[in-house]
């Protein structure tokens, strides 16, 4: 029995020693060497505006590409001075925009959003690429658009920021002597300037 007692005490002592050794190694493992540092993050915020195009909700031809971007395509479709008129296109057979022409018009939505700005609105100007078939373009009540990108034509109106956009009429004056099946493709460049 005495042997049994010695064996028990020896086993108990070995177990306690093992537990103590495990606890010491665990304590040693969790006391790793550390270092710290501070990173200063800086930025300068600048106000900005963004211009995009959308189909006008009233009397607008559906944009054929680029809706919601700043590079969209507005296709009037096949237009004629007399005859059927595409949906949401108006045809005028006389106009102060041009002589000896007919005018196709539709609306487009100009959406301008502002960020980090105290501006409550913006002004708008536009210019057109050099027309190749004698056509004349206008936006709103601007009259014929300038063909100079360095001096765009101001667009009359009071414009507001936001996703609902600003509906503007785009007019294309087509000379009555234009040959059948002539494809017209002009680029109107809009410039929005925060007030």
Dihedral, CA of residue 126, residue 132, residue 137 and residue 143, to nearest 10: 90
Exposure on the CB side of residue 150, measured as CA atoms within 13 A: 0
pLDDT interval class at 28 (50, 70, 90): low
| Paired residues of 103 in beta bridges | 92, 173
Structural domain spans, the chain: 48-194
Instruction: Please say if the pLDDT value at position 9 is more than 90.
Output: no
Average pLDDT over residues 58-74: 96
In CATH, what class is 48-194?
Answer: mainly beta
Q: pLDDT digits over 91-116, tens only?
A: 999 888 888 999 999 999 999 999 99
Q: DSSP letter string over 68-101?
A: TSSS-B----S--SSS---TT-EEESS-SS-SSE
Instruction: Please say if the pLDDT value at position 6 is more than 70.
Output: no
Average pLDDT over residues 51-57: 96
- What pTM was computed for the model? 0.77
Contacts 24+ apart (CB under 8 A), 113-117: 113/49, 113/50, 113/52, 113/161, 113/162, 113/163, 114/47, 114/48, 114/49, 114/161, 114/194, 115/47, 115/48, 115/49, 115/50, 116/45, 116/46, 116/47, 116/48, 117/47, 117/48, 117/49, 117/194
Instruction: Please say if the pLDDT value at position 21 is more than 60.
Output: no
Average pLDDT over residues 119-128: 92
Instruction: Please say if the pLDDT value at position 5 is more than 80.
Output: no
């Amino acid at each position: 029995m005495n042997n049994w007692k010695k064996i028990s005490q020896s086993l108990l002592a070995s177990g306690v020693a093992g537990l103590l050794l495990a606890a010491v190694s665990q304590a040693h493992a969790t006391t790793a060497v550390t270092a710290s540092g501070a990173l200063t993050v800086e930025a300068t915020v600048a106000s900005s505006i963004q211009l995009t195009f959308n189909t006008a909700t009233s009397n607008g031809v559906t944009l054929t590409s680029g809706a919601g971007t700043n590079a969209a395509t507005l296709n009037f479709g096949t237009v004629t001075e007399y005859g059927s008129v595409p949906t949401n296109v108006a045809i005028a057979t006389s106009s102060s925009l041009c002589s000896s022409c007919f005018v196709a018009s539709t609306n487009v939505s100009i959406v301008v959003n502002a960020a980090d700005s105290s501006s409550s609105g913006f002004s708008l100007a536009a210019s057109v690429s050099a027309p190749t078939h004698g056509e004349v373009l206008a936006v709103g009540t601007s009259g014929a658009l300038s063909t100079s990108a360095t001096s765009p034509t101001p667009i009359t109106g009071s414009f507001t920021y936001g996703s609902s956009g600003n509906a503007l009429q785009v007019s294309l004056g087509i000379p009555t002597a234009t040959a059948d099946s002539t494809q017209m493709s002009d680029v109107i460049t809009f410039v929005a300037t925060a007030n």
